[in-house]
Amino acid sequence: MSTSIAIGIASKDPEAAYQRIESAAAEHGYAIERGVESAEADCRMGLNDIVSGFDLTAIAILKAPSTHAAPLAPGIQEELLKWELEGRHVGFFEFLRAVGRSLRGLGSALVVSFAAEWGAGDRVRLSEGSIEELVEKLKRPGNWYMRLYLPQSGRWQDSDEVPLVYVADL
């Protein structure tokens, strides 16, 4: 299962928002697909919930790498894993900062979601803060997943069963 990452904003100028997100994506080797209907079927219903819940007028589905056949982000999963295991640079962090800068003034908040599967009415983990706080959250072990501890074995397990929705101030 791969990760679906969506970026949304409530803006009076959704076309400008899309253009700015597309530009930042291209600069970082990613691409976007516009609108919920372009998302993987496993996530569309849940994405519709946040579009209506946050009055989003533009929602971009990230493709990473840009050549990936589906609007999914396995490249970002790989980056985050290499960060966790080896401390390697993560271009996705710079992408998030670039998107935040480019959308400043176009809306009040940027909504970034991470999901593997997401049905209508599903609960989500909602977090709020700055783009920099999101980057710091993603730098921690498990990144967007829930990290669960298994006391019987003394091991950790990452769970992608509950989507993460992060609302960042612009």
Enclosing domain of residue 21: 4-169
Query: What's the number of domains the chain is made of?
Result: 1
Single pTM value for the model: 0.92
- List, for residues 132-143, the tens digit of each pLDDT value: 999 999 998 888
- Contact (Cβ atoms closer than 8 angstroms) between residue 33 and residue 61: yes
pLDDT-derived band at 88, boundaries 50, 70, 90? confident
User: Per-residue pLDDT averaged across 1-18, rounded?
Assistant: 93
Contact 6, 109 (CB under 8 A): no
Find tokens 């709020």 and name the residue.
128
Cα–Cα separations (whole angstroms), residue 135 to 5, 19, 131, 138, 145: 14, 23, 6, 5, 14
Dihedral in degrees, nearest 10, Cα atoms 24, 77, 85, 88? -20
pLDDT of residue 99: 97
How confident is the model over 99-116, as pLDDT tens digits? 999 999 999 889 999 999
Question: Position 39: which residue type?
Answer: A
- pLDDT over 60 (residue 81): yes
Does residue 1 have a pLDDT over 90? no
- Show Cβ contacts of residue 35 under 8 Å, excluding neighbours closer than 6 positions: 59, 61
Residue 170, pLDDT score: 87
Q: Among all chains, which residue has been given the structure tokens 């790498």?
A: 65
- Phi and psi dihedrals of 6, rounded to 5? -120, 145
How much is the average pLDDT of 37-54?
96
